[in-house]
Amino acid sequence: MIVMVVKCEITCPHCNSEAVYKYGKAWTGRQRYLCLSCRKQFTFSEKRPKETKKPHCPACGKLMHVYKREALKVRFRCSLYPECKTFLVINTEREE
Ligand SMILES: [Zn+2]
Ligand SMILES: [Zn+2]
């Protein structure tokens, strides 16, 4: 079994830049981010993670299906399973 961990990249909703910086928590408990490109602040809810886009299998290129949803990550399994036993784990929260 191949397990890969992919960081979910957070992009700025204003300018789409990936140069975002964790900027403490808002009073609602949500993680606040600061965009280093346009200097705007924005938040993402940790309790309701965005719907994760289905990735393509890095081994065979087929679409992957959601296998299991966990609090902070989503596990995907290749749609060709059991022929292709590739699993993918996507973190829905950016790591420190
Ligand atoms: Zn920006
Ligand atoms: Zn595959």
User: What mean pLDDT is predicted for residues 34-47?
Assistant: 82
Q: 74 C-alpha to center of ligand 1: Å? A: 26
pLDDT at 51: 57
For residues 56-76, one letter each, b for 16 or more C-beta atoms within 10 angstroms of the residue's C-beta and e for the rest, the string is ebeeeeeebeeeeeeeebbbb
Q: How far is CA 78 from the centre of its chain?
A: 17
pTM listed for this prediction: 0.45
Length of the chain: 96
Which uninterrupted H or E stretch holds 43? Answer: strand 41-44
pLDDT digits (tens, 9 = 90+) for 50-85: 556 789 999 999 999 999 988 888 999 999 999 999
Proximal ligand: closest to the CA of 16: 1
Proximal ligand: closest to the CA of 37: 1
Q: How many domains does the chain have?
A: 1
Is residue 60 in a domain? Answer: yes
**Distance separating alpha carbons of residues 37 and 70, to the nearest angstrom:** 32
Is residue 96 in a domain? Answer: no
Q: 89 C-alpha to center of ligand 2: Å? A: 14
Is residue 54 in a domain? Answer: yes
Its domain, for residue 56, covers 2-91
